[in-house]
Chains A and B, each alone.
Chain A
């Protein structure tokens, strides 16, 4: 069981402190919603967990191990990040084949995940021709490729149509029920209220709440009012 543990994570970019002394745990077998207003440090935190951004202090552990010490990182952790890019001239299948080769995964996995995200029919098309929603599905396919125990998803519903959003909700629930750790950064509260078990709420780079969703109310309205109260700038 690989939980995600963030301990005293801090990041300053010059004079700006993007994340301040952030600590929380995302338990295995649960979907944890990582919530906060724009610019509250969610993406920076996710990037620190993944070793892409170097913390000023503190650390993030996945199943007790830092990301850059994992022997086969993408078999342990799958990530969908907002700024992840695709080469416009590369086909969806080839994009995944590159990642498969990098992680010693068989090409059979590529076709499996393409089916899983419903892109099998478009797999040979160049990403240039993809809509935002299709790119999002391709990003999810890349995250799922290594069959990881931990998934970190940054705004995964971005660009998905209503059917896609419902599908994504089911996927997250199913993956969590298999014992995986899912962390979903989002600010679509109505969506989060239906999907997550745990919530971590941050604002201005600092933790405001971490715990089970039921502690702040499972209805959309309750979550929204709690969110607004917790993330309001202290005056």
Chain B
């Protein structure tokens, strides 16, 4: 397993694309927090502080695409042949990628968290609010955001391994985020909708406390996302084992 993990890290550190993608995460956080304040968010309200920090979870959209690149990117460039020549036990390749990408997803989430803290504190100071590092929601919001970054990286690995076609996998992910889940949520009603991945992610981020009645508890959101990651990965492994690589 160790050589597999080492080569996955080398694959990542020898190209620029994934890092440019992940670097957009902190930018989204800066823009999101700024938008919240500029659009009239009340800096005296501790709940608004939590909302600002919850933007870390929004960066998970990027770790999702990052995860998709893990396997689908290898099919795109044909390097998957080399990978399977080195490791004929294909199931373990997906497992190693899950581990490595989840770890990098965690690091990306941590960087976004630091940026979120800094930007939020700066805005709060500028607007005369008092920033409470110890406010009950601060650490929960950040922990949830980091967890979402990890979970979506893992879901991306599973989805990319399942769909394999990079463009199709990214299109499926974006269509799901932009439209399908919203429509599905309305059709299912909030009782069932809260089990959908982005509703679960909202619960995890605790971004929308006003409508928390329709969401799972934070830990529940985390478990549901973990379940999706496991489901996609398992389906991907089963689908990979006997497939011809041509």
Q: Give A residues with C-beta under 8 Å from B.
A: 44, 47, 50-54, 67-68, 70, 73-74, 79, 81, 83-91, 94-95, 97-99, 101-104, 142
How far is A54 from B7 in the complex, measured between Cα atoms in Å?
Answer: 25
Chain A: minimal CB distance from B79 (Å): 5
Would A101 and B79 be within 8 Å (CB), given that A47-B245, A53-B244, A74-B86 are in contact?
A: no
Q: How far is the CA of A175 from the CA of B82 in the complex (A)?
A: 22
Bound CA span A142–B88, Å: 17
Bound complex: CA of A54 vs CA of B16, how far in Å?
34
Beta-carbon contacts of B65-91 to A below 8 Å, as 1s and 0s?
000000001000111011111111100
What total of chain B residues lie within 8 Å of the partner, measured CB to CB? 28
User: Can you give 22 A-B contacts (C-beta < 8 A)?
Assistant: A47-B246, A52-B85, A53-B244, A67-B88, A73-B85, A73-B88, A74-B86, A79-B85, A84-B79, A85-B79, A85-B81, A85-B82, A86-B77, A87-B15, A89-B16, A94-B14, A97-B10, A102-B4, A102-B7, A102-B83, A104-B3, A142-B82
Given contacts A44-B246, A53-B246, A86-B77, 19 further A-B contacts (CB under 8 A): A51-B84, A53-B244, A53-B245, A54-B244, A68-B89, A70-B88, A74-B86, A83-B81, A84-B78, A87-B15, A89-B17, A90-B14, A98-B82, A101-B3, A101-B10, A102-B3, A102-B87, A103-B3, A104-B3
Tell me which of A73, A98, A104 has the highest count of chain B C-beta atoms within 10 A of its own C-beta.
A98
* Bound-state Cα–Cα, A77 to B26, Å: 45
Q: Is the CB of A86 within 8 A of B79?
A: yes
Given the interface pairs A53-B246, A103-B86, the reply to whether A88 lies near B81 with Cβ below 8 Å is no
- Please determine whether A84 and B82 come into contact, CB atoms closer than 8 angstroms: yes
Main SS class of interface, B: helix
Q: From A83, A87, A95, A103, name the one whose CB has the most chain B CB atoms within 10 angstroms.
A: A87
